């Protein structure tokens, strides 16, 4: 296995761990997993998967769960995700 494949696998595992930690109510542990996954992507010059970027806050590194710590709204042609920290992310949809 090359280093890129190992890094991608580790990022996916950390995303799963962050989701599980958020479900269990341990937000700080989930933040550590998100920060570690971002650091691995930086070191290996990889883009984070879309499902990772859509469910993490860029400002506070929280793993977002709609209804629990994030608000999701649909507007004209885009989705607005608002974290508890106040950061907003907008994504287009068709």
Annotated binding site for Zn(2+): 57, 60, 83, 85
Q: Which of 32-46 are b and which e, b meaning 16 or more Cβ less than 10 Å from the residue's Cβ?
A: bbbebbbebbeeeee
Q: How far apart are CA 94 and CA 85, in angstroms?
A: 28
- Within 10 angstroms of residue 88's Cβ, the number of other Cβ atoms is 13
Annotation: binding site: 57, 60, 83, 85
- Within 10 angstroms of residue 61's Cβ, the number of other Cβ atoms is 20
Q: How far apart are CA 85 and CA 75, in angstroms?
A: 21
């Amino acid at each position: 296995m090359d280093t890129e494949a190992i890094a991608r696998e580790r990022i996916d595992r950390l995303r799963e761990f962050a989701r599980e930690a958020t479900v269990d109510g341990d937000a700080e542990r989930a933040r550590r997993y998100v920060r570690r996954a971002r650091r691995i992507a930086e070191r290996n010059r990889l883009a984070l998967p879309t499902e990772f970027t859509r469910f993490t806050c860029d400002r506070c590194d929280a793993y977002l769960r709609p209804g629990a710590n994030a608000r999701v709204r649909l507007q004209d042609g885009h989705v607005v995700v608002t974290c508890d920290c106040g950061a907003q992310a907008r994504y287009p949809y068709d």
